[in-house]
Amino acid sequence: MIYYAIGGVLLVMLLFLYLQYRKVTQKLEKKNIELKSLSKETEKQFQLQQNLISILSQELRTPLYGIMGLTNLLEEEYPDLKNDKNLKSLKFSGDYLFTLINNVLHVNFLDSEEITVQNVLFDIKEVTQNLIHSFSYATENSDNILHFEFDPEIDQMIYGDPGILSQILMNLISNALRFTKNGNVYFSVMLIKKKGNTFTISFKINHDGDELSKEDKKSIYQEFINVGNAKKTYLGTGINSKIINRLASALDAEIIIQNNSHVGSEYALVIDFKSQVNQEGINHNASFTNSNASKLKVLIVDDNKLNLLVADKILSKENFDCTTIDNGFDAIELVRENEYNVILMDINMPKLNGIGTTKRIREFDTKTPIIALTAVDVTQLNRQIVQAGLNDYILKPYNKNHLLEMIHRHIDNPIHTH
């Protein structure tokens, strides 16, 4: 009889444990469903954010490209205006706004996307001098003096990414000026060592402004520097160190920040560059001047009239034979009826965008180089660009020499698409 009683108790216990197990399992299943739903919603929100940033990128960069392009053209066509305060102000505002836009855009992709680094031939002295010129208006207003020194031992024509380099230096110089009032900021570009065709170059910024506190110095390595105690100036946004460190990492560069005295700080950016000697795949005899461009025909496709005007003026000054068109459908017909040495294709156009236009052109023309002109962050478009048959891309607003180098590179070294 006792065995039946024990068996009954065990059965009740097993039943109780089973019911508890089922109850816990159901709760876990419910939680898993909720987590999956939350995960999908998070992914959806993240994608919406990325799409919004992409749209903002296009909407902000496109008009800025026109402003910066026309400003540079005014300087070239009317040299007497180079010292005009109004033009200086416009140029500084455009350059600084471009850097701010890039900062805002980059911070949304730093953790989720790889930064695309370009390797193009550029004049490092011209890039750094342009940076100094862009700050001339700002230094006048703050009663600071910005000194510049360039090591003559450096080969001026080197390979790298002038866009990312300029963005890092713009942020570092801005930060130095923000901590300085009625003082001096020293910007030097010096050769550290040379081995073969590799140059190790230091970009050093010193200032004699407020000393960074230990807390501020520590915060430089965090996402943003604390600027609450800094003098309020035209550069009140501060330095986004997360962006700078990430961009420096993309270039395999090192940033060194230190205090040398009771007043002032020093920032050094150290990068390895290749000179143009023995670079494979590049025609070093190609000239970016008008002498080699006299018979080259280029089709420029962009729905923005201002962008067409700027690109047309830039290339026409180099004696390119330019044809401009504002939509993809007419561009396709022009390519059917004419031969072009290169096509510059805007990506974001209404009705038929640059990707779709290129796909249709590639159905009957696999030879003509097509270079994408885009204001959208290309990390989102790389796969589409390759699949569509585009040969390369350049981000608006672009540097004139960068554009000319890219055009000649693809004309002199054509790659047929299939």
Q: Are residues 262 and 373 in the same domain?
A: no
pLDDT (0 to 100) of residue 286:
41
* Among candidate residues 244, 275, 306, the one where a domain is terminated: 275
Mean pLDDT of the chain: 76
pLDDT score for 180 = 78
Helices (H), 301-414: 305-316, 328-337, 354-361, 382-388, 400-412
Tell me how many domains the chain contains: 2
Identify whether residues 121 and 233 lie together within a single domain: yes
pLDDT at position 49 over 60: yes
**Confidence category of residue 86, pLDDT binned at 50, 70, 90:** confident
pLDDT at 119: 83
| Pair (220, 352) in one structural domain | no
* Confidence class for position 332, pLDDT limits 50, 70, 90: very high
Residues 309, 184 share a domain: no
Average pLDDT over residues 63-76: 80
| DSSP calls for 218-276 | HHHTSSS---TTSPP-TTTT---HHHHHHHHHHTT-EEEEE--SSS-EEEEEEEEEEES
109 or 32, which is more confident? 32
Same domain, 168 and 227: yes
| Residue 345, in any domain of the structure | yes
- Phi and psi (nearest 5°) for 201? -120, 140
110 and 213 both lie in a single domain = yes
Q: Which residue(s) pair with 301 in the sheet?
A: 325, 345
Higher pLDDT, 38 or 129: 129
Q: What is the pLDDT of residue 335?
A: 96
User: Are 156 and 251 in the same domain?
Assistant: yes
pTM for the full predicted model: 0.62
- The band of 16, judged by pLDDT with boundaries at 50, 70 and 90, is low
The 10s digit of each residue's pLDDT in 193-213 is: 998 888 899 999 988 765 455
Residue 137 belongs to domain with CATH number = 3.30.565.10
Within a domain: 244: yes
**Would residue 1 count as lying in a domain?**
no
> Is 114 inside any structural domain?
yes
Say whether both 307 and 266 belong to one domain: no
The answer to whether the beta carbons of residues 391 and 410 sit under 8 Å apart is: yes
Q: Which of 208, 241, 275 is the last residue of a domain?
A: 275
Is pLDDT above 60 for 136? yes
**Is the confidence at residue 12, as pLDDT, over 80?**
no
Rg (CA), the chain: 28
Please check the confidence at residue 287 and state whether its pLDDT lies above 50: no
CATH classification at residue 348: 3.40.50.2300
Is residue 317 in a domain? Answer: yes
Joined together, the tokens standing for residue 264 give 């002032």
407 and 304 together in one domain: yes
Q: Indicate whether 201 belongs to any domain.
A: yes
- Range(s) of the domain holding residue 331: 297-412
Phi, psi of 146 (to 5 degrees): -105, 110
Same domain? 106 vs 213: yes
Which of 241, 275, 309 is where one domain is finished?
A: 275
In a domain, 125, yes or no: yes
Co-location of 331 and 264 in the same domain: no
Residues 257 and 307 in one domain: no
> What does the DSSP assignment read for 374-400?
ESS-GGGTHHHHHHHT--EEEESS--H
* CA distances in angstroms from 16 to 10, 11, 165, listed in the order given: 10, 8, 69
pLDDT at residue 312, as a whole number = 92
- What is the model's pLDDT at position 334? 96
383 is a domain residue: yes
